[in-house]
Amino acid sequence: MDVTLADISRPGRVDTGEGISGEELALAARNHGIPLEALRYDVTPLGLHYLLIHYDIPLVDPAEWRLAVSGLVAGPLTLGLAELKELPRRTVRVTMECAGNGRARLEPRPVSQPWLVEAVGTAEWTGVSLRDVLAAAGADHDAAEVLFTGADHGVERGVEQDYQRSLPFSEALREEVLLAYEMNGQPLAPQHGFPLRLVVPGWYGMAHVKWLREIEVVAEPFTGFQQGAYRLRQEVGEAGEAVTRISPRALVVPPGFPDFMSRTRVVRPGTVTLEGRAWSGRGPVERVDVSVDGGQTWSAAVLAESAGHPWAWRRFTFEWHAAPGRHVLSARATTADGDSQPETQAWNRGGFANNAVQEVPVVVVDGP
Ligand SMILES: Nc1nc2c(c(=O)[nH]1)N[C@H]1C(S)=C(S)[C@@H](COP(=O)(O)O)O[C@H]1N2
Ligand SMILES: [Mo]
């Protein structure tokens, strides 16, 4: 009997009450989030950064691997890792977040990788500026976009593909956009894109193409699968708006210690210094407010300097006088432009960019 790729792929859909499926559990077990206690580090230690891989991690032999630079260029290039490393080296600290972060908190819940709030991490990425490589190839400045192709291959919604995403040419020329070969001073790990990945500070994760094998300068906007998938839509078939830069978000490090199953926090009565991290890809976070009563009242937190890292999260602290009883903690980031986090969801079919405020249930009880 004939079988087609459509037979093994699922249409996009929302949960109709059946809950997280086995298929979503398999995705969630492969693609882990940051343990929220790791928000205490300025730079997320290797292995604690979140992970999102659509298909399989490709096995790449660094001796055989080459990056092709093609399309609207004066001279196409084929670069090995050693040649790339001869170009000027740059390190940028970047907070990266999956566009699907917050998806599992939407109602109805779009069926896909079921992130709550943990699809984020901050790393020191080292590599070369993409614009240096584009200049070396003599890229045509009238080009519309730059298209990036990964070495991974799969099927999505019945469409067989290499993972591909494009960037507008103007974004590709920002000097902090990197072709990175190191993460936190180590060669990229296989799961983070070895040997080379794109890093686009300020943009949601899907733009940061891993396992790069080709860069093509193109005359027309790319309309491939991953470009069409990441759009804010209410209905199937709607054009929708492209998902690009990271919406503001603040997360509190859950205080005290957890209950194993519910992960409800247990805190002793008294003064507790709450801490957390806040970030945005749409202009720097200028203010963080904290609520200890489930969002009824808000007070300003103390925000640390960004200390020369404009693309990384900022730490905040808040003194909480914890009285016995049940409490719900939340934090809310606001940028200089007044861009902030909603207390209720802004629903879309893909479950993208849901930056509704976090809720951390806490019980304050005396010790044994
Ligand atoms: N080639 C390739 N690049 C990719 C992906 C992928 O599946 N294949 N996933 C993207 C998505 S959706 C995210 S959120 C980030 C995750 O990067 P990380 O796993 O290093 O945190 O990689 C992006 N780059
Ligand atoms: Mo993602």
In short, whether 163's Cβ falls inside 6 Å of ligand 1 is yes
Contact 278, 288 (CB under 8 A): yes
pLDDT tens-digit map of 298-348:
999 999 998 899 999 999 999 999 999 999 999 999 999 999 999 788 899
- Token digits of residue 361: 């249930």
> Looking at the predicted structure, is the pLDDT value of residue 6 above 90?
no
Contacts of 272 (CB under 8 A, 6+ apart): 255, 256, 319, 320, 321, 322
In single-letter form, the type of residue at position 269 comes to P
In short, whether 150's Cβ falls inside 6 Å of ligand 1 is yes
CA of 191 relative to ligand 2 center, distance in Å: 13
Locus of tokens 């999102």: 52
Provide the Cα torsion 31, 45, 106, 56; round to 10°: -20
Model confidence at 115, pLDDT cuts 50, 70, 90, reads very high
Provide the Cα torsion 234, 236, 239, 243; round to 10°: 60
How far apart, in whole angstroms, are the C-alpha atoms of residue 80 and residue 354?
39
How far apart, in whole angstroms, are the C-alpha atoms of residue 248 and residue 279?
6
Pairing of strands 67-71, 212-218: parallel
pLDDT tens-digit map of 44-81:
999 999 999 999 999 999 999 999 999 999 999 999 99
Instruction: Report the mean per-residue pLDDT for the chain.
Output: 97
How far apart, in whole angstroms, are the C-alpha atoms of residue 174 and residue 193?
21
In short, whether 209's Cβ falls inside 6 Å of ligand 1 is yes
Q: Which ligand is nearest to the CA of 209?
A: 1
Model confidence at 2, pLDDT cuts 50, 70, 90, reads confident
Say what the pLDDT of residue 297 is.
Answer: 98
Contact 102, 131 (CB under 8 A): no
Say what the pLDDT of residue 141 is.
Answer: 94
